[in-house]
Structure 1
Amino acid sequence: MQRVPVISPGGHPLMPTIASRARRWLRQGKAKVYPNDLNVFAIQLIFNPSGHDTQDVAIGIDPGKLFSGVGVQSYKATLLKLHLILPFPNVTKKMTARRILRRARRGRRINRKLPYDQRCHKAKRFDNRVHKKLPPSIRANRQLELRVVKEIVRLFPISNIVYEYIKARGDKGFSPVMVGQKVMLKWLEKLAPTTTQYGWQTSNLRQWLKLTKEKTDKSKAVAETHSNDGVALAASHFVKWKEWHDKNAHGGYWDGQVVATVAPFKVIARVGVYRRQLHFENPDSHKPNLNQYRKRKGGTITPFGFRSGDFVQAEKAGKTYRGWVGGYTQTAKSKKVSVYDHNWKRIGQFSPNKVKLLKRSCRLCVA
């Protein structure tokens, strides 16, 4: 039976309740719908509750390079499952393009016919070999996970966070997931007590909980790919493996109590906003003078009242679509708004009067 998050009148999370009781409170005027960035159905009490006592609720985070899984678990039920599509490839692509453009500008500015000490070299702004900087792609991954965890903390009375610790194999082994996980743990410790667990421990507990694992295609946006691992990580707060030894034998057993149940499942990605730039790098091939005309690039506003990342409903040819605003085109003959899905693939271009705003941008695509 699915649980609904409950928020106190002061904005503090309480223990979730069953859906039928939440609907009854709404009908009786005892509660109202609580909006949140994760689009999880939650309610906020209008009157003070009889008590504020809460039980342990844990978050399990299974970090990855391209995808991450998050699970929220109490000892009685699974509360939420999340599949995160990480921005690693997009950020890497943007950083590569930025590096190419920067080197091209330096090459055009410096007169290499002069001696080295007479060239117009730009002074460095900082020494990037001294400080321990996180690569932007990995920082973006961890920041998306942190953003989601902060939203969960606003919905559930979180008592513990369990983070899967990645360890590279060999002396020269390197994993992008390893980089920055110490920083991530410091961020999480500010929200709730945080512990770590290795992947093989997660696998054993997931099998004991009888949660399936999709290993053929881990890019599938289903609960079996990554979010079940998050549930197993969260369940490790309630169940521990204990070994016993005897003179003639030895073994072990799972000590504790936890129940994995059906829970709401969400797919979350970051909005693919293009930052405002002067123009595209290459001229428009549709214009006769290729050396002069370059199209406008980026920006978060449109002349039609929408912003990039707004969740909208659009109509075309009698069909209704839902997605996120990603840009617009405006010419003398037509005006169009581009709508994208959560994978940031364009659904189509729609007339502005056929587009209806449902929710303002929160920089998250929740499907």
Structure 2
Amino acid sequence: MFDSVGEETQTRKRFITMLRVPVLSPSGKPLMPTKPSRARRWIRDGVALGKWSDLGVFYVQLTQQPSGEETQPIAVGVDPGKLYSGVGVQSPKATLFLAHLVLPFPAVKDRMKQRRMMRRGRRGRRINRNWAYSQRAHRQKRFNNRRQNKLPPSIRANRQLELRVVTELCRLFPVSNIVYEYVKAKGSKSFSPVMVGQKVMLGWLSKLAQVKTQFGYETANLRTALRLVKSKDKSAQTPETHAVDGLTLACSELVKYEPFHTANTHGHTWKGLVQLTPSIFKVIRRPPISRRQLHLMVPAKG
């Protein structure tokens, strides 16, 4: 019993040692993350202040100007989905962050449906059907509301949650590249919630860092080469479900599938070096807040 407790303590210590703490300069510029022991020493000596980000990630902000601000390439991978998305942050020497996003697609879709029903009910009660049609209280259209160039609210909510998480990560880490898994299908597939809004999302991400796209089969090939295991239970809130794909997308900036030629053979092989380590794992969802609960309000007498 004591041996098992001791082994568990040692494992936990090794896990904490391999984690990385984000570091910000006095002006708020993200620097390379550091070890937890060094961060504790900085806080103890008054060199840095410990803070918490909106993602629930602990970071330190230096109170003195650092001697250098050189950074290594850090990539963020985003695996978008309809109900869940995966996000991973990777540097050449360590895995920095993993996240499983629970997207608000079904909740927003149901609320929009209920809002539409309540609105139709209010308009129906407002109209006096005893009058002629030309004299009824119909509000005339004020603009062309059939432009067909806007995102549905449910899909926009999905992409905005992903954008919010990536934006917070860019504030914590010196992100150099963002890799986004691009969904492509033959024919007209505009009904797919994953495909709709991809171009808009890429435009949003391009304002944060350099953006690259990658197809799903490329992600699967690299995940196999990295010997990462993916769970088939898509609803499980574990790193192996969707965050592993985000991590694989981030690693695609550090490991490339390139051709090689020798005197006797030729072909393709994986080139590059990346070290996968334990990291922080977060399950992120939107808080269930309704600012205008029109979809919950049903008129009643009295």
TM-score normalised by L of structure 1: 0.73
Label 1:278 to 1:246 Cα distance change in 2 as closer, same or farther (>3 A): closer
1:23 to 17, 24, 40: 40
Label 1:281 to 1:172 Cα distance change in 2 as closer, same or farther (>3 A): same
The 1-side partners of 2:189 and 2:62 are apart by 55
1:253 to 243, 263, 269: 269
Task: Tell whether 2:215 aligns with 1:205.
Answer: no
Task: Tell whether 2:257 aligns with 1:241.
Answer: yes
The 2-side partners of 1:46 and 1:248 are apart by 58
Give the secondary-structure state (helix, strand or coil) at the position aligned to 2:240.
coil
The 2-side partners of 1:30 and 1:171 are apart by 57
Task: Tell whether 2:192 aligns with 1:182.
Answer: no
Label 1:173 to 1:88 Cα distance change in 2 as closer, same or farther (>3 A): closer
Give the secondary-structure state (helix, strand or coil) at the position aligned to 1:42.
strand
The number of residue pairs the alignment matches comes to 285
CA contact (8 A) 1:87 1:140 kept: yes
Identity %: 61
The 1-side partners of 2:279 and 2:55 are apart by 14
2:117 to 65, 80, 100: 100
Bigger RCO of structures 1 and 2 (CA < 8 A, at least 6 apart): 2
Aligned pairs for 1:70-219 (under 5 A) are: 70-171=87-188, 174-215=191-232, 217-219=233-235
Task: Tell whether 2:287 aligns with 1:271.
Answer: yes
Label 1:280 to 1:71 Cα distance change in 2 as closer, same or farther (>3 A): closer
Task: Tell whether 2:291 aligns with 1:291.
Answer: no
Label 1:116 to 1:23 Cα distance change in 2 as closer, same or farther (>3 A): same
The 1-side partners of 2:129 and 2:186 are apart by 45
Q: 2:238 aligns to what?
A: 222
**CA root-mean-square deviation:** 2.1
Label 1:265 to 1:279 Cα distance change in 2 as closer, same or farther (>3 A): closer
The 2-side partners of 1:173 and 1:229 are apart by 24
How big is the shift at 1:281? 2.9
Letter of the structure 2 residue corresponding to residue 89 of structure 1: P
How big is the shift at 1:21? 1.3
Q: 2:11 aligns to what?
A: none
How big is the shift at 1:248? 8.8
Letter of the structure 2 residue corresponding to residue 132 of structure 1: N
Where in structure 2 are there 5+ consecutive unaligned residues?
1-17
Label 1:248 to 1:119 Cα distance change in 2 as closer, same or farther (>3 A): farther
Structure with the larger helix share: 2
Structure with the larger strand share: 1
Where in structure 1 are there 5+ consecutive unaligned residues?
284-289, 293-367
